[in-house]
């Protein structure tokens, strides 16, 4: 649940609030008791171990380069003419 903070708290305690955002906490900012905005942390990037990715693709079918090129050429326009 988002923690409610006032506009003044946001101004005076911005460092503490930024650290709380880093820890995943949400905030609703109010002015005169009325909600005016929401602060939410960006989702953290998740990295997958190379061994996990390798295992995932181990059973994948081989890619036929010539067929891939033909499919790409069929759906793309590689013309050097400028587009209107």
Is residue 46, in this structure, part of any structural domain at all? yes
Q: What is the pTM of this model?
A: 0.53
Q: Is 11 contained in some domain?
A: yes
24: containing domain: 1-62
The predicted structure's pLDDT at residue 65: 94
Provide the pLDDT for residue 84: 67
- 28 in any annotated domain: yes
- Give the CATH number, domain containing residue 53: 3.40.1620.10
Residue 82: HSE in the Cβ half-sphere, 13 Å Cα cutoff: 1
Q: What is the pLDDT along the chain (84 residues), one digit of tens a residue?
A: 899 999 999 999 999 999 999 999 999 999 999 999 999 999 888 888 999 999 989 989 999 999 999 999 998 887 888 776
Q: Does residue 6 lie within any of the structural domains? A: yes
**Structure token digits, residue 79:** 């013309």
CA distance 13 to 47: 32
Does residue 65 come out as left (phi exceeding 0), alpha (psi in the -120 to 50 range) or beta?
A: alpha
Number of domains in the chain: 1
């Amino acid at each position: 649940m988002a923690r409610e903070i006032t506009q003044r708290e946001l101004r005076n305690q911005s460092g503490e609030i930024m650290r709380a955002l880093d820890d995943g906490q949400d905030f609703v900012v109010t002015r005169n008791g009325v909600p005016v905005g929401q602060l939410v942390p960006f989702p953290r990037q998740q990295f997958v171990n190379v061994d996990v990715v390798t295992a995932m693709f181990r059973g994948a079918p081989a890619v036929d380069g010539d067929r891939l090129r033909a499919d790409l050429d069929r759906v793309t326009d590689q013309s050097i003419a400028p587009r209107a």
